[in-house]
Amino acid sequence: MAELLGIGMPHAPMFQFPDAAMAGILRKYIERGIIPPRLRDPSSWPAAMQAEWGDDEGLTAAAHHRGLVVDALRTARAELDAFAPDVVVVFGDDQYENFREDVVPAFCVYAFDALETLPYRGSSMVDSPENVWGKDPATTVTMHGHRDAGIHLASELLRAHFDVAWATRPHHHPTLGHAFLRTMMYLDYDQRSFPYAVVPFHVNAYGADIARDVTLADGNRLEVAPPAPTPRRCFDLGVAVGRILRASPYRVAVVGSSSWSHAFLTQKHHLLHPDIESDRARLAELEASNHAAWADLELSDLRDAGQHELLNWICMAGAMAEASAEVLCFADTHIFNSTKVVAVLRG
């Protein structure tokens, strides 16, 4: 039986950009009028949010937030290097990047041997022309894939009655969406190199909420879209992935890539800040290595908490259902859009 290593981590765009740009998402939402008028004044915010914003609009807090997460990512990379995988399977979401209204699969396995990527490009979420590595945004980086492992995984999932899609090249996106690119970049935050073969595994985490941003070819808005796959389906698929990979000839690291609650998805907080209370409930389950409990979560509750992307972690948790979890960091925040968690699952 092949061994597996589980890693949970964020791919939040702000860590690609300088500290001064990190609070830009909140500032942009305020300036655009997306936040209700009564909540645009910091004096109306919760006390913890005001303290984090401080008298420098989050600059000091940005350095602290980044430090917590990047230190944990370096530890996760050390675990990855010690494990020395043949393949890294990454569960990640797509935000109207590669899959658009012409086709949106619930799941899709990417199977390629190599792909030229553009990981240093700017982000629509963060207003900054510069990245922390000082790289030209047009710089290309080769992402090493593993076509055979991807085809094997998709084939065995289909045989196990999971109707996953598969692809050997991008559809709409010129390379790969940010969930996969930033996973690779953040596991190589010190820019030493990332030599591991990657099998990206798309999860339609946004489901019905992708409709908020879609204008159809006829000029009309997409008012309604089908839902994301349920937590139970994601967990069960992860269990099948774990079983398939353990029976394969490959030594595999399985990554669930996402932040947890996102402010821009938390309607009950008027998009102002994440649902930190719900994130702490998920943290308690993870710290107790009771991540199997996530299979019983309701999709409606994840949407209410802005935890849409947790579905990526739930797929990973299924693959590592019997594993013990070590939480490397829990970086909650009111002003940097989302709670960031880094964890390693072994066994």
Which has the closest alpha carbon to 265: 107, 108, 125, 129? 125
Angle between helices 231-246 and 310-319 (to 10 degrees): 40
Q: How confident is the model at residue 213 (pLDDT cuts 50, 70, 90)?
A: low
pLDDT computed for residue 53 by the predictor: 96
H/E element holding 63? helix 59-83
The pLDDT score that the predictor gives to residue 128 is 86
Can you give the pLDDT at residue 129?
86
What is the chain's percent helix, strand, coil content, to nearest 5? 40, 20, 40
DSSP bridge partners of 254? 6, 89
CA separation, residue 299 to residues 228, 256, 314, 340 (Å): 8, 17, 12, 20
pLDDT number for residue 9: 98
The average confidence (pLDDT) of the chain is 94
Using CA atoms, how far apart are residues 105 and 138, in angstroms rounded to an integer?
Answer: 29
| 307, 282 contact by CB (below 8 A) | yes
Total length of the chain: 347
Least confidently predicted of 67-81, 126-140, 297-311: 126-140
Q: What is the mean pLDDT of residues 286-296?
A: 97
Q: How confident is the model at residue 55 (pLDDT cuts 50, 70, 90)?
A: very high
- Examine the pLDDT at 20 and tell me if it is beyond 70: yes
Averaged pLDDT for residues 7-31: 92
29 falls in which pLDDT band (50, 70, 90)? confident
Helices 147-159 and 231-246: crossing angle, nearest 10°?
120
> Number of C-alpha atoms within 13 angstroms, CB side, residue 257?
31
Domains recognised in the chain with CATH numbers:
4-346 (3.40.830.10)
Rounded Cα distance, 204 and 312, in Å: 9
Per the model's pLDDT, the better-predicted residue between 234 and 175 turns out to be 234
Question: Which pLDDT does position 28 carry in this prediction?
Answer: 86
The separation between CA 192 and the C-alpha centre of its own chain, rounded to angstroms, equals 22
State the Cα–Cα distance between residues 190 and 164, nearest whole angstrom: 34
Pick the range with the lowest mean pLDDT from 140-144, 167-171, 216-220: 216-220
Let me know the angle formed at the C-alpha of 313 by 311 and 318, rounded to the nearest 5 degrees.
95
Q: Convert the pLDDT of each residue in 95-147 to its tens digit.
A: 989 998 889 999 999 999 999 999 999 888 887 889 999 999 999 999 999 99
Backbone phi, psi, residue 98, to 5°: -95, -35
Distance of CA 108 to the CA centre of its chain: 15
User: Residue 129, exposed/middle/buried by CB under 10 A (0-12, 13-18, 19+)?
Assistant: exposed
pLDDT of 215 strictly over 90:
no
Q: Looking at residue 234, what is its pLDDT?
A: 98
Residue 271 contacts residue 293 (beta carbons within 8 Å): no
Residue 1 is predicted with a pLDDT of 67
Across 273-300, average pLDDT: 97
Q: What percent of the chain has pLDDT over 70?
A: 98
Cα distances (Å, whole numbers) of residue 235 to 11, 121, 297, 313, 315:
20, 32, 10, 9, 5
Q: How does residue 211 score in pLDDT terms, banded at 50, 70 and 90?
A: low
With 0-12 / 13-18 / 19 or more C-beta atoms within 10 angstroms meaning exposed / middle / buried, residue 57 is middle
Q: Which residues contact 299 (CB under 8 A, 6 or more apart)?
A: 207, 227, 228, 230, 231
CB proximity list for 277: less than 8 A, separation 6 or greater: none
pLDDT > 90? residue 2: no
Question: Which whole-number Å values give the CA distances from 104 to 97, 182, 232, 315, 322, in the listed order?
Answer: 11, 22, 20, 18, 31
Report DSSP state, residue 227.
Answer: P
